[in-house]
Amino acid sequence: MRGFTHTTPLITALITYSLTLVIIKAAQSTHDHHPLPPFSCASTNPSTSSYPFCDVHLSVHDRARDLVSRLTLDEKISQLINKASAIPRLGIPYYQWWSEALHGVAVAIGVENGVSFNGTIRAATSFPQVILTAAAFDADLWYQIAKVIGTEARAIYNEGEAIGMTFWSPNINIFRDPRWGRGQETPGEDPLLTGKYAVSFVRGIQGDSFEGGSLKDGRLQVSACCKHFTAYDLDNWKGVDRFTFDAHVTKQDMADTFQPPFKSCVEEGRASGIMCAYNLVNGVPNCADYNLLTKTARGEWGFQGYITSDCDAVSLIYEKQKYAKSHEDAVADVLKAGMDVNCGLYLANHTKSAVEQGKVSESDIDRALYNLFSVRMRLGLFNGSPSEQSYGNLGRNDICTPEHQDLALEAARGGIVLLKNSAKLLPLSKSKTKSLAVIGPNANVAKTLLGNYAGPPCKTITPLEGLMSYVKKTKFHPGCEDVNCTSAATSQAVKLAKSADYVILVMGLNQERESEELDREDLVLPGQQQSLITSIAKAAKKPVVLVMLCGGPVDISFAKNDPKIGGILWAGYPGEAGGKAIAEIIFGDHNPGGRLPLTWYPKDFINIPMTDMRMRSDPSSGYPGRTYRFYQGEKVFEFGYGLSYTNYSYKFVSVSQSKLDFKTLSTTDRPEHSGYISVADIGSESCEKAKVSAVVKVENEGKMAGKHPVLLFLRRDHKGGNASPVKQLVGFQKVSLNAKQKGSVEFEVSPCEHFSRASKDGTLVIESGDQYLVVGDQEYPISINV
Ligand SMILES: *[C@@H]1O[C@H](CO)[C@@H](O)[C@H](O)[C@H]1NC(C)=O
Ligand SMILES: *[C@@H]1O[C@H](CO)[C@@H](O)[C@H](O)[C@H]1NC(C)=O
Ligand SMILES: *[C@@H]1O[C@H](CO)[C@@H](O)[C@H](O)[C@H]1NC(C)=O
Ligand SMILES: *[C@@H]1O[C@H](CO)[C@@H](O)[C@H](O)[C@H]1NC(C)=O
């Protein structure tokens, strides 16, 4: 999203919040009664509370229909935008659809009244940016985080300091190109990982139970939104912007890369919101795509909820994309495609004339309003006073609690990835490290820890502050004026480095280098950072430790290959407690277990245009393909890579089936193909029978306890050429093991889902041949006959 107004106030606010170590306590309310949040159907107002739409004994369906039937055309139109007007005669207050909660309740830039943080509640728990949280490969952690975010959001609402309970998170687009400025917001490049993240996040924030139960009438703690639907992963690259970019996506890539996370988000997560993206896909603007919004999401996946446009996306359809011939056609296109609410003013401005010109009928509008009011009702906003309902007991004491802040620390610990540890430099000894030099432009900037779409944190601990708590004699120099590092204070930094037992360099990127509307044009460290690092490493007494703060990958081969750089940590943007987690890992109070959720490409990868959406390689033209599933070129670090202070060994102890013969499994008649069968033809019953349970024994062979995510991949005998992924993730589970302890993890693999790939026309197929379950260096063959 982009802000409607200038962004300065927020940025100023964030800097104020975070430049120093601020501990903001929710101010004590001087009143016993805080202002009530806005709600409808107050029992104290008999003239409105007697309407059927206020009757909690009726279904949401009936209530929403009743409400919509009472509105005039002008009132209806006023509800089609994110700032939905109050309808005082029916006791309905103003509603703001736009709020943000990507990794903590956040401020939406330029939005009035969503969540303002300008009253008595000034902060919320700020978790690591999503790309780092994803690196923990821990679905339960993601669920717990989202649950806390939903709890804090509801508490802020109950305190009368938020209006919106519809949050436009998570961002589940595939991190297709390493240059994408918003890749940091996503769980990475893998569709299975991204889908599982989506499900955990949505269930957690919406208040579902992980066992799949749902509360009566689909009641929501707060509402989540799967965005940006679909194939949106370019912001602004060499003059190509997201507002006019037409993504050419093959049916094949659509089916097995771009759509699966959205399918999971809707089918398993039961998200109550979807956002259609700015861009066009194969010539059609996403928000005007009936096949996408209505046929696929609502029809095939059973989506129940509302669909919003990205902000101002509707105005682009006629004005910039020239897809519609007039304002009224654009309005008709989106309403008939199945979009329900427009972030912006466009539908408020042009719907009336679209109706007058006969391009839109009132029933098109009613369809949208039904979806919109159903979600507001599921949020409990039409049930009278919130204090008498579920979640009504949450309040200021549920925000920034010690438990929530511990979870933010736990998430940072879980995600941070150890990329290099030559000669076991790390962990440093707490007792023997007498002095430390901390150098780098990212060592002591609190706001950099937060990434984008952040709210004001409860408190922050920078890497410098975290390290100082271990070593009293710690000295700091930023090395450069900022991450751009146009000039480096090399001689001062070198002098400092020479004076200390150990040197920790905290380098990388920040939101000025990668963010919304800002894709990178290279994959290297900005300015003089690399030469600064190398000079310091050369001068230091011992090999140095390099900590990288960045969302997207950076080609740091120079550091990987430099013997004077002994340890490298990737810490993403690690959230409010990030500096503490980094220090704990450096000094061995936590054993790192994170694994990269994305490929770190060499810098030459930028030779392919960011606009080329193809996932699969094209050897004839030298196109290398994208992500670990298809790209077979050189890598700086690969997907799933991550070291720890201990060693784990794996062994398959049992696999329930090693031969899958779909000829005998399948009972129905089906077409004969040579070598492959479509998943649809196998049928759900046979798919169920084909499920494979695999038990893997894991042993911690080292000397330190650790939490370790075990990644299970599928590798194919590569007959299918570039059409099949080289390998693909089929499951992940974490296991916590003490030194020398053995444990086991069980995976349930569903061949129809996990062993299939899309064919050219987008149908999912399974091929005959040997496939291998792979964990670490262990492989288990499964022979498939169709
Ligand atoms: C907070 O900001 C909103 C506008 O975003 C304003 O309506 C409200 O009065 C403000 N509250 C306080 C306590 O300043
Ligand atoms: C809608 O109309 C208002 C008032 O005329 C105008 O300021 C605004 O720019 C318009 N917005 C859009 C998206 O059409
Ligand atoms: C750093 O570089 C970026 C990208 O060139 C630029 O937009 C930004 O303004 C620079 N920041 C400073 C503080 O100079
Ligand atoms: C783990 O195993 C690797 C490869 O066998 C070895 O180089 C490394 O030293 C081991 N690390 C530990 C902590 O035992």
Full-model pTM: 0.95
For residue 109, the model assigns a pLDDT of 74
For residue 36, the model assigns a pLDDT of 84
Closest ligand 1 atom, residue 120 Cα: 13
Separation of CA 164 and ligand 2 centre (Å): 23
CB 19 within 8 A of CB 447: yes
Amino acid identity of residue 139, one-letter, is A
Residue 650 gets which letter from DSSP? E
For residue 218, the model assigns a pLDDT of 86
For residue 720, the model assigns a pLDDT of 62
Q: Which of 440, 410, 417, 415 is nearest to 570 (CA)?
A: 417
Pocket test for ligand 3, best of 481, 512, 524 (most atoms within 8 A of CB): 512
Q: Is 329 annotated as catalytic?
A: no
| Residues with pLDDT less than 70, the chain | 1-33, 209-217, 666-673, 718-720
Q: pLDDT digits over 58-68, tens only?
A: 999 999 999 99
Separation of CA 647 and ligand 4 centre (Å): 6
Q: Looking at ligand 3, which residue's alpha carbon is closest to its atom 7? A: 512
Q: Looking at ligand 4, which residue's alpha carbon is closest to its atom 2? A: 647
CATH superfamily for domain 415-607: Glycoside hydrolase family 3 C-terminal domain (3.40.50.1700)
- The residues of the chain that CATH labels 2.60.40.10 are 646-785
Separation of CA 336 and ligand 2 centre (Å): 22
Separation of CA 78 and ligand 1 centre (Å): 22
CATH superfamily for domain 646-785: Immunoglobulins (2.60.40.10)
CB 569 within 8 A of CB 620: no
Nearest bound ligand to the CA of residue 107: 1
Residues in contact with 28: Cβ distance below 8 Å, sequence separation at least 6, in sequence order? none
- The residues of the chain that CATH labels 3.40.50.1700 are 415-607
Give the alpha-carbon dihedral of 291, 295, 300, 305, to 10 degrees. Answer: 110
For residue 141, the model assigns a pLDDT of 98
DSSP per-residue letters across 461-529: --HHHHHHTT-SEEEEE-SBSSTT-SSB-HHHHHHHHHTSSEEEEEEE--TTTSBTTB--S-SS--TTH
Nearest bound ligand to the CA of residue 314: 2
Choosing from 233, 310, 333, 555, which is the catalytic residue? 310
Closest ligand 2 atom, residue 327 Cα: 14
Q: pLDDT digits over 147-196, tens only?
A: 999 999 999 999 999 999 999 999 999 999 999 999 999 999 999 999 99
